[in-house]
Structure 1
Amino acid sequence: MKPRRRAARLWRLWLLPAIALFLFSLFLRHHRTSSVLNDGARIAYFIQVSAANLPLLNRLLLTIYDPSNFYALHLDLKIDELKALESMRSAYHVLSSRWGVGSERNVPNLLIVRSEIVTYRGATMTMNYLTGANRLLAGGDWDYFINLSGADYPTASQKAIRRLLGKVGKGRNFVEWKPQNTWMGFAEKRFGEFYVDTGLAKLKSSTSEFVDLNGTEVSKQVEGVERTMNPLFRELDFTIAKSSGWFILSREFCEHLRDDSDARKLLALLAFSDASDEHYFASVLWNGGDRWRGSVVNSNMRTIFFVAPNGSFAMGEDGQRSRQHPFWVDEAGEDGVFLFGKHLKKSPGFFTRKVRGDGGFRDWMDREMMEKEYEERLEKRFDQAVMEADRVRRLHQGAAQASEHSDASEDATSI
């Protein structure tokens, strides 16, 4: 056989396996991608646990646990240390017994964030969320971050939640905007007036209040006391947005919060504002250009009640209408029927709050909320929210393109 013919034959012998290997790798890549989409999105949960809702933790963990998800817990520093240790041992035992994962001292996809002071209306609340997100970013590969309190409870199965979030792929952010015409009023009160979270300076205990002209903390309910104004409020050249304090954030956005200098600057700016968690995440998204504003779905997929079926409002300790603390969702009438039960089923979501844990309410939810009819309504609500977000994004893109075209035409005319 001539050398040239032999070389051509050897070349073909090497080429065919290489092509086969390349095609096989494409198949594996497609199969892996399809498997991820079929399995649904992977979720990272950050759960803030207080002394009041510590007894609810085991049931919550057991209900939302999935081996493909990741979980981070923050136990409030005010919780008795022995009670916290007992609770964690119990949680590990329950999960390892039910799911066969880890041991009674460790579950691989469940981590504990170092306990720190959290003032639930101050900047330490926002910082605690960011700590949880950063720990979860370092702990595993997931798609969406969901914040919970120990008093929350799921109104949908993990299978349904993972599947629905998997439908939209990666990179969406589920944040419930408040009406835009209210943002300035919120900003004037919550950022324009100096608000102090002493948890920024103390390690053991903290309070949070507005400050009067003498630098003394003063409750916002005190009438006739002039409060200190924040001078930076007059210097703003961007919008302070307002949303709910509950959200579903994409991994990409959590990485942006960790790495972006403007996001860190905004965090520092809101250090002395009231309820900064209801403004920080929303403001980074709103002022982040088309990439981040266009990623928002205007729903946090929660069902929370500030208005009762009879039209009455949730009231605060000061006797005024509460805008931060909703009704207990497990409230029952004299006949034992849950007052918000029918409304929960008609307003499907991923989670509800606030739950006290007695009276069989969680057992009732586990039965009622897993029905096929409920999940169909849930999917309809989810799809409508996503479609509306896509419609708004297309309108904004069209307006931006029209503006660019108009500017280009004016430039050409002036030339």
Structure 2
Amino acid sequence: MENYNNNIKPQSQKKQKWFLSLVFSLLLSTLLIVVSVSFSSNSTRLYNRAYVQNPRPKFVEQQLHVLSTSSEKIPRLAYLISGSKGDGDSLRRTLKALYHPRNQYAVHLDLEASVQERMELASFVESEPLFKQVGNVRMVLKANLVTYRGPTMVTNTLHAAAILFKEGGDWDWFINLSASDYPLITQDDLLHILSTIPRDLNFIEHTSDIGWKEYVLPPFIRNICSFNRHQRARPVIIDPGLYSVRKSDVFWVTQKRSVPNAYRLFTGSAWMMLSRPFLEYCLWGWDNLPRIVLMYYANFLSSPEGYFHTVMCNAEEFQNTTVNHDLHFISWDNPPKQHPHFLTTDDYLRMVESNAPFARKFGRNEPILDKIDSELLGRNADGYVSRWMVQ
């Protein structure tokens, strides 16, 4: 009996050890499975977070975004008003007719104007009581040399826009005008109208049919060869305003060049109203298109009629923001020549019926300007529009 009991004990102890080992193994396996599933789940979430929700951009520039426009009910405008030799008085008159305390203004007389004329304009801007009180008018003190058929007009526009970005605070649209432009409606009315439309819109007359501009002949070639489409050289010009301190007309290079195939050329009016996001894109150029196009238009005749149009219509962010109108009444020959007609009282009715907010081209102190002042703008004795309902 004693031997039997002695045999039972070792067998029972063996079974207990085996059972404990089995339980321990099961617990360990369960723990490993739980840890594995948890790690796999976390890894999947990390993977999805890194590669699905926020995929790595192809280019760093894709992380940059166009800034949103202002949320204020009434927009703000930024104006460039530019002129040349002898335009000081006309520029002052246009500035006063356009003035509104809500807007921002940059005025520029190019280097063809005398130092005295530029100093007189600077003194006017600095000392005018209303400008001093509101602080929204500034003169471009470092004047540029502007050849109106060359790229220097584009660079001057970009320069003024950069100044208005730096000093002009918040504004929604940029409008470029010359001393020979004049408003046909008050700024109150214009701001009221613009308050009803999206602020990413760009008012820029444009077309991809560059037509005769692709094959325009320089004068010396026009004199020595027949006017044949196949004999026309696509123009390459040099603007002395890029390197000279004295203004002179552009000159022609006999070298031919083909139309670019990396982007499509557009042309249109040199006068426009551009949105703040688009101008910021032109100045920053985070995908390099604005700089590439600017380099191309450095040798292009009348580049103000093509640079902004080409950039906008080739940039995916902005190509669907265009309104094909330059907001001007302009009287052209048919076919159009280099410059439009000077407007007179004979054009008054057509100007009013056009519903355009601006018109050009006006001579200095034309009687029609007095008619516009009294019948359309209601300017007071100081030269300002008599009411500013929007503050």
Give the TM-score of the pair, scaled to structure 1.
0.66
Letter aligned with residue 135 of structure 1: I
> Contact (CA 8 Å) 1:41, 1:169: kept in 2 or not?
no
> Contact (CA 8 Å) 1:53, 1:356: kept in 2 or not?
no
Provide the secondary structure at the position in 2 that maps to 1:51: coil
> Contact (CA 8 Å) 1:187, 1:240: kept in 2 or not?
no
**CA displacement at 1:286 relative to structure 2:** 0.9
> Contact (CA 8 Å) 2:147, 2:239: kept in 1 or not?
yes
Cα separation, 2, equivalents of 1:276 and 1:91? 30
Cα separation, 1, equivalents of 2:377 and 2:114? 36
Cα separation, 1, equivalents of 2:105 and 2:306? 25
Provide the secondary structure at the position in 2 that maps to 1:199: helix
Counterpart of 1:293? 319
Residue from 107, 120, 123 that aligns with 1:89:
123
Cα separation, 2, equivalents of 1:189 and 1:76? 28
Evaluate the alpha carbon distance shift between residue 360 and residue 240 of structure 1 in structure 2; reply closer, same or farther with a 3 A threshold: same
Provide the secondary structure at the position in 2 that maps to 1:146: strand
**CA displacement at 1:205 relative to structure 2:** 3.3
> Contact (CA 8 Å) 2:348, 2:368: kept in 1 or not?
no
**CA displacement at 1:253 relative to structure 2:** 0.2
> Contact (CA 8 Å) 2:264, 2:314: kept in 1 or not?
yes
Letter aligned with residue 200 of structure 1: L
Counterpart of 1:328? 342
Cα separation, 1, equivalents of 2:82 and 2:366? 23
Number of residue pairs matched by the alignment: 290
Provide the secondary structure at the position in 1 that maps to 2:204: strand
Residue from 342, 349, 354 that aligns with 2:356:
349
Q: Which has the higher contact order (CA 8 A, sep 6+)?
A: 2
> Contact (CA 8 Å) 2:235, 2:252: kept in 1 or not?
yes
Where has structure 1 moved over 4 Å in runs of 4 or more?
none
**CA displacement at 1:156 relative to structure 2:** 0.8
Give the helix-richer structure, 1 or 2. Answer: 1
Evaluate the alpha carbon distance shift between residue 89 and residue 252 of structure 1 in structure 2; reply closer, same or farther with a 3 A threshold: same
Matched, 1:256 2:278: no
Residue from 328, 335, 340 that aligns with 1:302:
328
Matched, 1:198 2:240: yes
Counterpart of 2:261? 236
**CA displacement at 1:370 relative to structure 2:** 4.4
Matched, 1:144 2:173: yes
Evaluate the alpha carbon distance shift between residue 185 and residue 327 of structure 1 in structure 2; reply closer, same or farther with a 3 A threshold: closer
Counterpart of 1:75? 109
Letter aligned with residue 132 of structure 2: G
Give the alignment of 1:199-238 within 5 angstroms: 199-212=241-254, 228-230=255-257, 233-238=258-263
Q: Deviations over 1:278-330 (max 9, x none)?
A: 111000111112x31110011111111114xxxxx5xxxxxxx653311111x
> Contact (CA 8 Å) 2:203, 2:323: kept in 1 or not?
yes
Q: Deviations over 1:322-367 (max 9, x none)?
A: 53311111x3xxxxxx110111111111111111232432221123
Letter aligned with residue 314 of structure 2: N
Cα separation, 2, equivalents of 1:130 and 1:366? 31
Cα separation, 1, equivalents of 2:245 and 2:308? 25
Cα separation, 1, equivalents of 2:348 and 2:259? 46
Counterpart of 1:360? 367
Counterpart of 2:60? none
Counterpart of 2:303? 276
Which shifted more, 112-121 or 145-154?
Answer: 112-121
Residue from 135, 151, 154 that aligns with 2:163:
135
Letter aligned with residue 175 of structure 2: I
Q: Deviations over 1:141-188 (max 9, x none)?
A: 10000000011110010011112222113211000124x4x3254234
Evaluate the alpha carbon distance shift between residue 154 and residue 300 of structure 1 in structure 2; reply closer, same or farther with a 3 A threshold: same
Q: Deviations over 1:204-237 (max 9, x none)?
A: 334302223xxxxxxxxxxxxxxx212xx25523
Cα separation, 2, equivalents of 1:370 and 1:58? 16
Cα separation, 2, equivalents of 1:75 and 1:132? 12
> Unpaired runs of 5+ in structure 2?
1-69, 218-232, 379-391
| Greater radius of gyration (CA) | 2
Residue from 79, 84, 89 that aligns with 1:55:
89
Provide the secondary structure at the position in 2 that maps to 1:85: helix
Q: Deviations over 1:66-93 (max 9, x none)?
A: 1111111111101111122123323444
Cα separation, 2, equivalents of 1:129 and 1:189? 25
Cα separation, 1, equivalents of 2:155 and 2:369? 31
Letter aligned with residue 252 of structure 1: P
> Contact (CA 8 Å) 1:197, 1:208: kept in 2 or not?
yes
> Unpaired runs of 5+ in structure 1?
1-31, 213-227, 308-312, 314-320, 332-337, 372-415
Two-structure CA RMSD over aligned residues (Å): 2.1
Counterpart of 2:132? 102
Cα separation, 1, equivalents of 2:162 and 2:326? 21
Give the TM-score of the pair, scaled to structure 2.
0.70
Cα separation, 2, equivalents of 1:234 and 1:344? 37
